[in-house]
Amino acid sequence: MIPKAAHALVHTDSQYAIGVLTKGWKAKANVELVANIKDALRGRSVRFAYVPGHSGIPLNERADELAREAIRVRRSRPPKLDPGA
């Protein structure tokens, strides 16, 4: 768990994420996830920096690669029916 006194700078290529988390935009998808993130951020010093997506920024391109791989791996494994298993 991150201490409440910690400062964080989150780089994202999602204007939507910045909007719903900092500008009061209404979440249109993943409403529960957005609410959970807002709760986790409450009382913490967090800033968001926009990074243009798909524009050759090496770490952003790497983040996209990792996200695609996570989706691929998740789809290739059957879901567990028993969370305790």
Residue 39 belongs to what domain range?
A: 7-76
> Residue 82 falls within a domain, yes or no?
no
The whole model's pTM is what? 0.71
CATH number for the domain spanning 39: value is 3.30.420.10
> Residue 28 falls within a domain, yes or no?
yes
CA-to-CA distance for 69 and 49, rounded, in angstroms? 24
Q: Is the pLDDT of residue 85 over 60?
A: no
> Residue 83 falls within a domain, yes or no?
no
> Residue 69 falls within a domain, yes or no?
yes
Non-local CB neighbours of 11 within 8 Å, separated by 6+ positions:
48, 49, 51, 59, 60
> Residue 21 falls within a domain, yes or no?
yes
pLDDT at 84: 64
> Residue 84 falls within a domain, yes or no?
no
Cα 31 vs. chain centroid, distance in angstroms?
13
CA-to-CA distance for 50 and 39, rounded, in angstroms? 21
DSSP, collapsed to helix, strand or coil, labels residue 8 as strand
How many domains does the chain fold into? 1
Q: Is the pLDDT of residue 44 over 60?
A: yes
> Residue 16 falls within a domain, yes or no?
yes
- pLDDT tens-digit readout, 10-43: 999 999 999 999 999 999 999 999 999 999 999 8
Q: How many CB atoms lie within 10 A of CB 2?
A: 11
